[in-house]
Amino acid sequence: MMLEPTEEQALLRDMVSRFLADHVPTDVAGRGSLPLADWRALGDLGVLALAVPEAAGGLGGGPGEIAIVAEAFGRAAAMGPLAECAVLCACLIADGGDQASASKWIGAITSGQAIVAYGGPGEGLGDLTVQRAGEGWILNGERRLVRHGAGAGAFIVALDDAPHLLLIEAATPGVAILPYALADGEQAALVRFDAVEVACEARLQVTPTRRRRVIAMTQLAITAEMIGLMQTLYEATVDHVRQRRQFGVAIGSFQVVQHRVARLFILLEQSRSLLLRAISADDDAFATAVTEAFAYVADAALRLAQDATQLHGGMGVTEDLLVGRGHRRLLVLSHLFGGAIAARAKLAA
């Protein structure tokens, strides 16, 4: 039982925080992904290899390490393909890819040279069908929300009704990438697959247990990122209500404002508790604990962002202020993987 990070975890947190403070000043924070050069620099620091098992050349970090890095990203409102690429896709390839895919992609992901994007199944995310064709498959359909899909070198698609995970290079004939901007300023893509021939080596052999765990690690990273950003928005809001004067006094002296901010403090503390609980869970309980944390935090984050905007007054709705940009980011993060609604439905099932 220890609430504080271990010494190694603290070093990791400080290193990532320092890097992001230097490279993501407040005026650019929350405006889009880190430039490629910065992403590669993070790769050089080992940050992108954190989630990858040691056997596959990674650092073998656990939930605690992943949460620490993701929270630092949120704190700085820094963006990039951390969760889906450096955690999810990297781990799926490390676990289930053949030698060739592993050597082609894992080093490229962990060094920040390449992005592999994820097209998972879900409500509204598009239909995909796969037909057996000789040794391989023919893939048809689309994935509508592939974060960082525009610049990706490859995709991992998960099928709706089959346990298949397929690794498909972006340059494969029949793959069409339609980039679009997400609410948080990051690039996503609608990716179409038109009679795409997939060789049998493209299938990632990942056990269902391991796949659940890796998806949970990804959701954990997103949850931790939300909490980091909640903290930043909370602090900005507390500063603002202390400084902003109306009717001759700081608005933070009004009880109606105090009570609203007190509610934000509660949301943040309760969110942190569920994140810590997920990090501490046994292997058996981990995926459910992450779903619980995500279900709570996705709601809490958006409520906090809404109140942060409200308490900032007119400035809260502008793009100039980090609060507005942070709110956009939380809008996207809180809706990934089906958002709180899908998470609650899963828990109710």
Partner 1 sequence: MSLALPPEALRFRDEVRAFLDEHLSADLRRGAALTSGVFAEPDIARPWQAILETRGWLVYHWPVAAGGPGWSRVQRWIFEKECAEAGAPALPGMGLKLVGPVLYSFGDDAQKADYLPRLRSGEDFWAQGFSEPGSGSDLASLRTRAVRDGDDYLVTGQKIWTTQAHHANRLFALVRTNPEAKPQAGISFLLIDMASPGVTVRPILSASGDHELNEVFLDAVRVPVANRIGEEGQGWTIAKFLLENERGGSSFGPGLVADLRRLLDATGPLKGELATRAIRLSLDARALETTELRTAIELDAGAPPTPRSLITKLVASEIRQGIDELAVDAFGPAGLQLPAERPFYGPGMPAPIGPQAAQPAAARYLNSRAWTIFGGTSEIQLTLIAKAAVGL
Q: Which is nearer to partner 1, 2 or 37 (CB)?
A: 2
Instruction: Out of 36, 133, 181, 266, name the contact with partner 1 by CB under 8 A.
Output: 266
Whole-angstrom distance, CA of residue 307 vs CA of residue 167: 41
Instruction: Out of 271, 287, 290, 332, name the contact with partner 1 by CB under 8 A.
Output: 271
Binding mask 3-42 for partner 1 (x = CB under 8 A): xxxx--x---------------------------------
Instruction: Out of 258, 313, 317, 319, name the contact with partner 1 by CB under 8 A.
Output: 258
- From 157-165, 171-179, 186-194, 266-274, give the range in contact with partner 1 by CB under 8 A: 266-274
Tell me the CA distances in angstroms from 243 to 32, 133, 199, 250, 315, one per residue in order.
29, 67, 62, 6, 14
Which pair of tokens denotes residue 61?
A: 């970090």
* DSSP-assigned letters across all residues of 212-267: HHHHHHHHHHHHHHHHHHHHHHHHHHHHHHHH-EETTEEGGGSHHHHHHHHHHHHH
- From 70-78, 91-99, 103-111, 293-301, give the range in contact with partner 1 by CB under 8 A: 293-301
Instruction: Out of 195, 262, 315, 317, name the contact with partner 1 by CB under 8 A.
Output: 262
Q: Is 303 in the site for partner 1 (CB under 8 A)?
A: no
- From 30-38, 205-213, 270-278, 317-325, give the range in contact with partner 1 by CB under 8 A: 270-278
> Rounded to the nearest whole angstrom, what is the least distance from the CB of residue 73 to partner 1 in the complex?
17
Sequence-ordered list of residues with C-beta below 8 angstroms from that of 8, at least 6 positions apart, any chain: none
Q: Count other Cβ atoms within 10 Å, centred on residue 149.
A: 26
Which pair of tokens denotes residue 272?
A: 């942190």
Binding mask 49-88 for partner 1 (x = CB under 8 A): ---------------x---x--------------------
> Rounded to the nearest whole angstrom, what is the least distance from the CB of residue 163 to partner 1 in the complex?
27
Give the max Cα distance, the chain. Answer: 78
**By CB under 8 A, what part of segment 188-247 binds partner 1?**
238, 241-242
Rg (CA), the chain: 20
Whole-angstrom distance, CA of residue 118 vs CA of residue 128: 14
Distance of CA 26 to the CA centre of its chain: 20
Distance of CA 275 to the CA centre of its chain: 14
> Rounded to the nearest whole angstrom, what is the least distance from the CB of residue 59 to partner 1 in the complex?
17
Residue 169 near residue 117 (C-beta atoms within 8 A): no
Q: Which residues pair with 141 in a beta bridge?
A: 128, 193
Sequence-ordered list of residues with C-beta below 8 angstroms from that of 256, at least 6 positions apart, any chain: none
Q: Which is nearer to partner 1, 116 or 287 (CB)?
A: 287
Instruction: Out of 48, 116, 274, 304, name the contact with partner 1 by CB under 8 A.
Output: 274
Distance of CA 185 to the CA centre of its chain: 14
Site of interaction with partner 1 (CB under 8 A): 1-6, 9, 64, 68, 238, 241-242, 252-253, 255, 257-259, 261-263, 265-266, 269-274, 276-277, 279-282, 292, 295-296, 299, 344, 347-348
